[in-house]
Amino acid sequence: MNNSPLMQCSDVGKSFPKPDGTELLVLQGMNLELFEGQIIGLLGRSGSGKSTLLRLIAGLSEPSAGNLKFLGKPIAGPASGISMVFQSFALFPWLTVFENVALGLEAQRLPSVEIRKRSLAAIDLIGLDGFESAYPRELSGGMRQRVGFARALVVHPNILLMDEPFSALDVLTAETLRTDFLDLWSEGRMPIKGVILVTHNIEEAVLMCDRVLVFGSNPGRILSEIKVTLPQPRNRLDPSFRDLVERIYVEMTAKPAVVAGAGRHERFPGLGIGSVLPQVSSNLLAGLMEAVAAAPFNGNADLPKIASDLQMEIDDLFPVAETLQMLRFAEVEGGDIKLSEEGVAFAQAVVDDRKRIFARHLLTYVPLAAHVRRVLDERASHLARKSRFIDELEDFMSEEDAEQTLRAVIRWGRYAEAYAYDDANAMFSLENPT
């Protein structure tokens, strides 16, 4: 082992052009070094630039400022020593497991005997022995992600990048895959020397990583670094494990310092129309407001405390709290959630008034909902196809994120009765035009 970094980011910044011609600053002043033997976790809320940083490291995109190095050399395009595992598995449905894995080696021009040997070894290592000729549709989600891992490992990369690799899996499957991965890593059975794991799950970060970097948003940057020195295998119930989860939790909800040049306060980050929205039902939003408004909290609750009262995991409650903050019904800070005046008013109101309050906040603070409503208002037919909004969103985000984001706006809009949506013909409409 030597102590020059496997990978190094120095003062890396990234911005994207916005439709109005100005720049959206997504990452600022990123400094990061990955050393041999480390698993680094990038933890942060949705939109804080984690995937963007991973794509820069993978050579799939270029920084707007600063530089990145792999084994001391500038990263310019995809390097064969860096592989990536995606949340969505990204397998080819018409290829078998073997062919999907072997595809990882295509760029390397190896003899076919060698391709076969290495592909079978990777398939075996990751627990897919016997499934070589199966097609992805014949496999469970967990098995498909194992194919994703095998394809990344078959090139014998130095660095493995993982972008929320477990978040599309059910709880038990995800845990099995994490444990299997950690076993292979601890036993040194994988060719990789260092790992960067993107996650928005605090427990996953503490379970798997040696260092956790907490990202802040607008612009994305590193707020703090937490070292996790607990020996592997780690036990989620261990008090020191719980302490770390709680500590990171507080870091993630810390009072934000105002960033020079960011031009706005992060407490209520200004959403753009292209922001990815979370999947949180209006029931959960109303339920959390009610619980925080009631005794013993009376409007202000410690989130870990209220999570355990509601028998929810912090990681499940967090998106709900974040959404309330986005809608200005609450502020999340220092590990607490505090209802705003309107949040209290909502909790105390009857159903019809709740819908009115919710509609006002939805159309004021979620630009995409306001956009949908405006389009419907302006058209004589008061109708608009879903595909039109999907097309607009895809200028800013992936197809998957666009679908998810539009689903959120459909659910909230239905609850608020701000507009209607017909699933059968994928059409928005207005029941009571202004």
- 302 bridge partner residues: 336
Closest CA to 41 of 30, 50, 49, 28: 50
Residue 354: which residues within 8 A CB-CB, separation 6 or more?
286, 346
- Which of 274, 304, 335, 343: binder of ligand ADP (CB under 6 A)? 274
Site stretch for ligand ADP (CB under 6 A), options 43-51, 227-235, 238-246, 358-366: 43-51
- Residue 50 or residue 221: which is nearer to ligand ADP going by CB? 50
Q: How far is the CB of 164 from ligand ADP (least distance, A)?
A: 8
CB 409 within 8 Å of CB 366 = yes
Angle at 120 between CA 40 and CA 130, to 5 degrees: 105
CB 85 within 8 Å of CB 162 = yes
Site stretch for Mg ion (CB under 5 A), options 50-58, 154-162, 238-246, 328-336: 50-58
Give 50: exposed, middle or buried? Use CB within 10 Å, 0-12, 13-18, 19+: buried
Q: How far is the CB of 157 from Mg ion (least distance, A)?
A: 20
Q: How far is the CB of 50 from Mg ion (least distance, A)?
A: 5
51 makes contact with Mg ion (CB under 5 A):
yes
50 makes contact with ligand ADP (CB under 6 A):
yes
**Residues touching ligand ADP, count (CB under 6 A):** 15
- Which of 10, 46, 88, 404: binder of ligand ADP (CB under 6 A)? 46
- Residue 49 or residue 104: which is nearer to ligand ADP going by CB? 49
Site stretch for Mg ion (CB under 5 A), options 46-54, 184-192, 264-272, 301-309: 46-54
d(Cα 118, Cα 101) in Å, to the nearest integer? 9
Secondary structure element (H or E) that encloses residue 300, with its range: strand 300-302
Q: How far is the CB of 168 from Mg ion (least distance, A)?
A: 12
Q: How far is the CB of 47 from ligand ADP (least distance, A)?
A: 4
CB 37 within 8 Å of CB 1 = yes
Considering only residues 232 to 251 of the shown chain, the ones binding ligand ADP according to CB under 6 A are none
Site stretch for ligand ADP (CB under 6 A), options 42-50, 118-126, 241-249, 260-268: 42-50
Residue 326's binding partner among Mg ion, ligand ADP, none (Cβ under 5 to 8 angstroms by kind) is none
Q: How far is the CB of 396 from ligand ADP (least distance, A)?
A: 5
Closest CA to 11 of 66, 59, 50, 57: 66
- Residue 44 or residue 304: which is nearer to ligand ADP going by CB? 44
- Which of 8, 52, 119, 405: binder of ligand ADP (CB under 6 A)? 52
In sign, the C-alpha dihedral spanning 115, 118, 124, 126 is: negative
Secondary structure element (H or E) that encloses residue 374, with its range: helix 367-378
d(Cα 360, Cα 356) in Å, to the nearest integer? 6
48 makes contact with Mg ion (CB under 5 A):
no
Record the tokens describing residue 32, joined without a space.
Answer: 């990061």
Count of CB atoms situated within 10 Å of the CB of 96 = 17
Record the tokens describing residue 8, joined without a space.
Answer: 């190094």
d(Cα 286, Cα 343) in Å, to the nearest integer? 9
- Strand order through the sheet with 39-43: 82-86, 159-163, 194-199, 39-43, 211-216, 221-227
- Residue 40 or residue 154: which is nearer to Mg ion going by CB? 40
Q: How far is the CB of 160 from ligand ADP (least distance, A)?
A: 17
Site stretch for ligand ADP (CB under 6 A), options 4-12, 41-49, 88-96, 118-126: 41-49
- Residue 345 or residue 397: which is nearer to Mg ion going by CB? 397
Instruction: Let me know how long the chain is.
Output: 434
- Residue 62 or residue 377: which is nearer to ligand ADP going by CB? 62
- Residue 61 or residue 96: which is nearer to ligand ADP going by CB? 61
Q: How far is the CB of 215 from ligand ADP (least distance, A)?
A: 7
- Residue 157 or residue 219: which is nearer to ligand ADP going by CB? 219
Burial state string for 274-287 with b = 16 or more CB within 10 A and e = fewer than 16: bbbbbebebebbbe
- Which of 41, 47, 216, 343: binder of ligand ADP (CB under 6 A)? 47
- 50 bridge partner residues: none
Q: How far is the CB of 370 from ligand ADP (least distance, A)?
A: 18
- Which of 13, 41, 49, 269: binder of ligand ADP (CB under 6 A)? 49
Residue the block writes with tokens 């960033």: 259
CB 37 within 8 Å of CB 194 = yes
Considering only residues 358 to 397 of the shown chain, the ones binding ligand ADP according to CB under 6 A are 396-397
Site residues for ligand ADP per CB under 6 A? 16, 24, 26, 44, 46-52, 274-275, 396-397
Residues that bind Mg ion (CB under 5 A): 51
